[in-house]
Structure formats: C-alpha cells, structure tokens
Chain A
C-alpha cells in the first residue's frame, strides 16, 4: 500500500535542533516550515590529522657546504649578526635553533628560494613518502587536497594557474561551462544569492494535482541538502570508529549513510541518527530482512543476482518504501535499469569500482551518459533517481558525474581517506588487506568528513555560480553546459595534418 509523504519534512528532523517544531507532519505545516526559511550551511571546525600526512616537499641541506657557506658569509658580511642569520626561507624551514643543519621539513612549501640562493648547498626533492600516498587513481595530489579540505573545511586557493596535464581520462576529460555576458551568472559562495544543492531521492510523481492540499508523492521522496551520500564502508573499518563517524557526519550534512543490515543491530547508532542510516541488503535476503527493514523509506538492495521479475515480490515485502536498487555498471546496465524503472522501481544506485571503472572496462562517466540517455529515450528519466558511485575522489567529480546524468553520487574512498585510511597498492575493490584503517575517535572522524563535505559543497557552488545555475538539480544531464576533450580536440585540431 502506498502512503503519501510530505516532500518537505526530512527524516533529519530528529537530528536537528527542534525549536518546538518537531511535530511538523501535517499538510498545513508547510506554511510553518516556509516561515522558518534559512540558508543551508555546513558548520566546519579545524580537525588536523591524527598522524602527520607526508609533506610533498623535502628540503635537503648539504651540511659541509652549509658550514663553509656560513664561514664565507661571516667574513663577507663582516660578522653582522642579523645579516648572517637572515635565512633564505620565509616559511620557517630554517627557523629552528640550528637553522639549515636541522631543517623543519614539514614547513616546506616548495618555493625553491633556498635552491635559488644556494644551489650548491640546498636541494628540494619530492618526498618518497608523499609519492607513495594513494594509488594511480587517487593520486598523492588528490590526497593532499582532500587532507587540506578535511582539516580546514575550506577550498584550496593557490596562485599562477593550472599545473597539471592538459586533459586525462574520465572526469579529467570534461570541462564545465561558465557565463559572463550573455547569460546571467550567480553570486557564488561569497554572494547574496542562495544556490540550492538539494536533490531528491525516490520515485517522483509525473504530475501535480492542483486540487490537493499539499504537494504529495505516492511514494516517499526525500530531499537531501547535498548531492552526495556515504557508501558502504569496507570491512577493514569494522569497529574502528569510522562507522559511527560516517553516521554522525551524514546527520550533520543532512545526507544518508549506507550500512550492511546485518551489522546494524550492533552498530553505534544513536537514536537521533537512525533516520540517516540506509540498510543495505542482498536481494535474496530482502524477504528475510523485511521485518527489520519495516519503516525504512529507502532500503538499499544489492541487485547483483536479481531480475526484474523479482521486483514485485520485493515491493510487496517492503510496503511503503522505495528500494534503492544497487546495480553494478556494465554493458547490460542500461537495459536492466530501464526494465526495472518501467516495472516501477524508483531509485537506483549504479556502481563502478573505486577507480571509476565499470564491469565492461568503460569509465563511470561514459556509462552514466549512456544510462541517462537510455532513460530519457524511454521517457523514464524524470521519474527515477540515479545515484552513482565509483571514482568520486575530488570535489569536481561530483558536478561532473551529475552533468553526465546522475542525480547524486555516493562517496566511498574519499570518506575513508579523510578519516586517515591509507590505500595499499592499487585500490579498486574493498578487501581486508587493501586498506590500512587505524582506529579513530568518531567525533574527530565526523568532523573531518563534515569539513571536506563543506569544502566540496562550496566548490559545487562555485561551479554552479560560474554556470549561472541556481540549483544543482538543473545540472543533471546538462551536457550542453559541459565540454569534453574528445569533442574539443576534434573541433579544434581535427583538420590539422597529423604527425608522429
């Protein structure tokens, strides 16, 4: 039996300060909620890493050369103490009691002035420990950026332009549009104008009844304030505090956190945070778990070995819910999702590996485009929600995945690395040995996740404002506001003679 659910009452109500409005569930409450309008913001607080993250730069001083240089300068500058002690670093690398004999390497920002002034004494290397961070996809640069975001909650701002490769595979081959004269651009994070990052999860109604007292859906539709939720944690973090941190962070950023249903009974979930937990169950276990899942609006179902014919049985076992069907992306995904959507499924979580690769070897970006187009062609796209995961490790990957057709994304490795997890080798699939995930205080872990989510949301706002969009929902599938490397290369250089 379907039940109408108020679109505007989120389950986080239990997690938020109530202000006496905790019982806003009746149709007329919409007016009360509207009068409580306030901008959504994610509060941040400094959360330095528990264990030092290797610095990229490693200044090395040749001590005999330094001693000789000091002696030489002492005579040259006639023993003027202040001149002699004025050191070639404004970032304090040589500010210790013995200066360059024991440099404070963690302070080095790679400005190279020491090398410019004393090339025969100083060198700056890229630290091997920094190079060993992450893997070929979640690169050391990405990890450093994420660490900065998780520590400060701020966007990284630097000078002198872009320093990386011209373009790359996957998300690195896509640029977002901007407006300057002919389309109104928005104010962005420093402006007065509010840009919404809210998205909906669930099967959306195809029409609105003007005679109804309130806007209601036949099935639950949930508004999340950010277009990302937190994916299943790997086994490596069981009991180390990361689970509690992710749940608490999901409540604070008004999102959701996926957890395996079998572990929920002993999971560290506070009553106020129950609403943000999405239990994940295998399709074959759904009937068995039905009693446990009762009342959960969005249980996630692993749809790996199931077929569209199983959907009616599942829906009758979970009345009043919208199962979030987790479907691995591959060559047959478009057809499968289309069939399920036609059969009434309302929400899908399509998954790729942690490097964004799908079962058929394509990148999640291309698979999403195909799936989105397929649903548009079938006239089903507006009704269903697509959550995408795999390869989302930088802030810009969120809007790019949405541009390719996702409504929102599920975050995985970024959440864990923000909490201090270290990847061991090429990390494409969860496995006990693939991740080093030391124990952590849940409050600290939650703050780290909240911080990077705030920074990612701010970067999403920057991208939306540059494009002149007032809400992230307008971004979905808007490929007309994106530029792909393949297209640009063909248009710009396709007519040129090629050479080896």
Chain B
C-alpha cells in the first residue's frame, strides 16, 4: 500500500469537507458542538480559516450559548454617525514588555499562541503554528514538552515553557527563546499537573522529554521548589541568570486569590502575567477538574486588573488572558475587562479542522492529525496549509477587531484596555 496515496485521499476529502461544511452547503451535523463551542461557531471558524473574512451567510460567529461570561457580554457601540470612518485602520499592536528595562517586544495583534507540547500535538501542527506566528508578527508557545529541532528556524517567534515536569528543559532551549514562560498552573486542569497518556508517548516524544516510551507522564503539581512568592522570585532569577535578555512570563490559573498571585509575580519580576481560566485548555484533563476547579477567566480578568491598578503597577506589566477565549469578540471583551491581550489555543486547532470532540487523549489521538503522535495521522496537517488557515483566521479576527474599535470610536486596541464602561451585561 502506498501510505502517501492513503494520506492524500483523506487529506483531499478533509479539505473539501471543511470547505463545504464551513460554507453551510450541508445541514449542520446534530452531534457537532456544545454549549461553549456551538456547531455554528465551529463551522464559522472553519469558514474564516478558509476565507480570511467573517462569515456572511448568517452563521453565528461571535458568541456561544453557555449562558454566562463572554456569552452575556456585549458592547455599547456609538451611533453610526459617531463611529470612526471605515478607511481608518485602528492599531492592533500591543507591547509585551511594559517595564522600563529589557527588550521592547510589540506584537502586531493582541493575541499569541498558547502552549501545546510536543507529544500532545503533532510536530506538523507545531510548525504550522510557528509559520503562522511569523507571518502575523506574533508569538506561539512550545508548551512543556521541549523544543524540537524543527522549531529552531522559528525561535524568534517562540515562547518556551518551563513547567513542573521540567520536560525538555535545557539551558540551550531557554537561551533560544525570546520569551520564557513558567507554567505554574493551567486552565485545563487547575491545581493539577500535565497529563500525557501513554499511547502518545512515542520513542521520539520520550527522547525529547527524557522519559520512558509508552509510559504515561503526569507532571507533578506544583513546582516543589516554590512554596512562596519569595521562592517564585528565585525561579525567575534562575532564568534571568541563564538568559538575561529574555522576557519572563508567568502563567497561573484562577484561584480565589488570583489578584494576590498576580501582584506577587509582578514584584518577582514577571513581564507578562498570563491568567489561564478554569474553562479553557487544549490538553487531556480530568473532567472533574475542567468544570469545577478555579474560576472562569471572565471574573478573574477584572479582579486582577483592578488590583494591579490599585497597587499602582498596572502600567508596568502586560496582562494576558486565556482559557475559553474562542472568537475575536471574546478577545475584545477580555481586553475591555482589563487584559492587554489574549492567548489562543483551541481556535487555532479548529482552524485546521478540529471538531472539539475531546478525544485528544486517546491512543492514536486526533482523527484529523492535530493532537496526535501517530505517524500517519500527523501527515494530515501540511505545515504550509495549516499556517495559511491559522493566518486566515486571524486576518478575519483583525477585520472584526478593527470594526469593533471603529464602532467604539477608538483608534487603538490599547485604548480599549479596562474600558468596562463600554460593556453591557445581557439579562438571561
């Protein structure tokens, strides 16, 4: 059998199907979607990834039907005559370093890619994300599984992650990246370590993580070297010693005292505070953790933003939100609640055909080649094709952000930060 022919057949079919379903040429599949990612949101994301524009066929692409959070927030737009002209292009860039010292890094759009590790996702998908990040002028993250050689050409676009399992963490990987992120917790499973189940731990993944093939990898929780904000500062100092020029990001989840954690991280020297809300995540996680542990991102953003303002340090730190941010509208609402920008994971997976079916943890993993280490399935994502679709999705989002900003009379996305007065809360 020619494996290439088999792959070619399925890839051709998948591309054709994604296109037709996204355009609404077939009935919406009944079993597709859920409260957060509705079938229409999924199909609209596929369509945007193909066309680079928001859907025009009436498909809902702004909100889901979770009944809370972003799905109940709306903007108070100006009357049409007071909006900014359509030919004005509001600035979408945001700074990642707001401290007086260190490298100035601005990204061209208010998002960057979330951490998805080698092993949890295929190498082809990782490369596609890196290529898209380069084309868009933003960053993407390696996740906690190490820094495969195939990503080295894109090191200027990479955030490398240090997580509790220390998988793949070496001096050279830290020195290769411009931004180093400490993952203290993650929204997929707040309070728990990473889970990479045995079927996905191939020989190559095990080599990268310096572990045993086909043995499940449960990262410990928490960092057993950190039991206080002072310990946390030592952590950051350690990376600063290895790579003095790196920007430091601290990724935390959303406990009741998330505001105190954020301020502690600021004083420890973090440039970026990355809040990962309890409903998000792309990786395998116990269902009980996803739903019940830690608060969703929406209330956490305002809580942290207000506390940083009251401490007088908000202007010196970049606040990034993630965890269940699905659309351009969610991003804009998160910024209005107080974030500077957002981290996106799941939407990028949807751009290349994810159906949000949640079977990522299984043996061969993902049926369309995203969250898999299966050699055949991995070939379903051609990096060029994947990069094009991810870029298209963000091009569509850029159009929407600019439209939102013009309708609010703002010339820059930075002007939207913390503008709660521009938000409405919808009754049930």
Contacts and interface: CB of A to CB of B under 8 A. Distances in A.
Interface of A: 56-58, 73, 77, 80, 82-83, 86, 88-91, 109-113, 115-120, 123-126, 145, 155-167, 174-182, 184-185, 187-188, 190-191, 395-396, 400, 459, 462-463, 465-467, 480-481, 483, 485, 488-489, 491-493, 495-500
B261 A112 contact: no
Contacts of B83: none
A164 B190 contact: no
The 8 tightest CB contacts between A and B, nearest first, are A466-B191, A166-B68, A159-B360, A178-B191, A82-B1, A492-B299, A163-B34, A117-B13
Contact of B288 (A395, A481, A500): A395
Nearest to B31: A124
B256 A109 contact: no
B313 interface: no
A112 B355 contact: yes
A120 B185 CA distance: 43
Contact of A111 (B221, B286, B367, B427): B367
A158 B358 contact: yes
Contacts of A185: 191, 221-222
Interface in B303-356: 303, 323-324, 337, 346, 349, 353-356
Given A112-B32, A157-B197, A396-B291, A181 B229 contact: yes
B31 A57 contact: yes
B353 A180 contact: no
Contacts of B192: 188, 462, 465-466
A178 B1 CA distance: 51
A41 B294 CA distance: 27
B292 interface: yes
Contacts of A187: 220-221
B368 interface: yes
Q: Identify whether the interface residues of B are mostly helix, strand, loop, or mixed.
A: loop
Interface residues of B, number: 110
Given A115-B21, A157-B284, A463 B358 contact: no
B34 A159 contact: no
Contacts of B424: 496-499
Given A165-B67, A492-B302, A111 B1 contact: no
Given A185-B222, A188-B192, A493 B425 contact: yes
Interface in B224-264: 226-229, 231-232, 252-253, 255-257, 260-261, 264
Residue from B229, B232, B279, B349 having most chain A Cβ neighbours under 10 A: B279
Interface in B166-225: 184-185, 187-188, 190-193, 195, 197, 218, 220-222
B1 A191 contact: no
Nearest to A122: B29
B285 A157 contact: yes
11 contacts: A82-B1, A83-B5, A110-B31, A158-B358, A160-B357, A164-B291, A185-B221, A190-B218, A467-B191, A489-B299, A493-B425
B425 A498 contact: yes
A157 B361 contact: yes
Given A119-B20, A166-B296, A167-B68, A109 B286 contact: no
Given A162-B36, A162-B324, A117 B288 contact: no
Interface string B259-283: 0110011000000000000111111
B359 A109 contact: yes
Interface stretch (B52-60, B69-77, B93-101, B133-141): B69-77
Contacts of B287: 145, 155-158
B30 A483 contact: no
B278 to A, nearest CB: 7
